[in-house]
A = this chain, B = another copy of it.
Amino acid sequence: MKMYGNWRSAASFRVRAALNLKGIAYEEVFLDLDAGDHRKPEFLAINPQGAVPALFVDDGPPLTQSLAILDYLEETHPETPLLPADPRDRARARSLAQLIACDTHPLYTPRVRKHLMKAYDLSKEQGLEFLHFAFASGLETLEKRLSTEAGTGRFTQGDAVSHADLCLASLWAGTGIFGVDTAPYPTVKRVAEACLALDAVARAHPLKQPGAPAS
């Protein structure tokens, strides 16, 4: 398989980690988002949304949207399952994944912060404050849910890693990159660190990819 991604992209991290966990061979083309690679005609022909990841799985058009790709990999490579077998447990894992991938991550993407700064004349600091608002609102709900719901185990849902953990790991990696205060979220920290400690996930970490800063 061939993936178009970026070191900093949380969504690319999720897919990269799933490919590693399932032992699927792939190569990754790393776009330079700061240089606007994702807005160039060559990439817009691949994904009109101008977003990574885009994953070529055959000679057809690429797959896009990280959770859709994770489900495709689950359906076509069921070995090393990344969703629980029970429908209720799957629904909880998916709910937690979407709390991150729908309600948290899209808010702090560069396209949104850039629009806010330009349209409302916000400072860079205010753009960063909005990012912290997005992280904090997601992390607060995650802490409440993971610390009180019976489904939480070693990982987000029980004791096996799932899509929810990949989303959580991508969010947690972001707290480091963007300097988000993580002290109020001890349960999130424990679960995220359990996922990030897996070799397949550690190798997929943003800071281990080409283009990432040295520290």
Majority secondary structure, A binding face: helix
Within the complex, the shortest CB–CB distance from A108 to chain B, in Å, comes to 11
Given contacts A61-B149, A99-B49, contact A91 B69 (CB under 8 A): yes
Asked whether, in the complex, the Cβ of A90 is within 8 Å of the Cβ of B103, the reply is no
Q: Which residues of B contact A71 (CB under 8 A)?
A: 90-91, 94
8 Å CB contact of A102 from B88, B95, B106, B126: B106
Q: Known A-B contacts: A69-B91, A107-B107, A120-B122. Give 15 more (CB < 8 A).
A: A57-B88, A61-B150, A63-B91, A63-B92, A65-B98, A72-B87, A98-B101, A98-B102, A101-B102, A102-B102, A102-B106, A103-B106, A106-B107, A115-B130, A116-B130
What range describes how many residues of A lie at the interface?
A: 35 or more
Stretch at the interface among A27-35, A140-148, A185-193, A202-210: A140-148
CA distance A122 to B117 in the complex (A): 12
Binary contact readout A76-96 vs B (1 if CB under 8 angstroms, 0 otherwise): 100000000001101110110
8 Å CB contact of A115 from B68, B75, B98, B133: B133
Asked whether, in the complex, the Cβ of A64 is within 8 Å of the Cβ of B107, the reply is no
Q: Which residues of B contact A76 (CB under 8 A)?
A: 87
| Identity of the chain B residue whose Cβ is nearest the Cβ of A68 in the assembled complex | B94
Is A112 in contact with chain B by the CB < 8 A criterion?
Answer: yes
A and B contact pairs by CB, cutoff 8 A, 21 listed? A49-B141, A49-B145, A61-B150, A63-B92, A65-B95, A67-B102, A68-B91, A68-B95, A69-B91, A71-B91, A71-B94, A72-B87, A72-B88, A72-B90, A76-B87, A101-B102, A102-B102, A102-B105, A119-B130, A120-B120, A120-B126
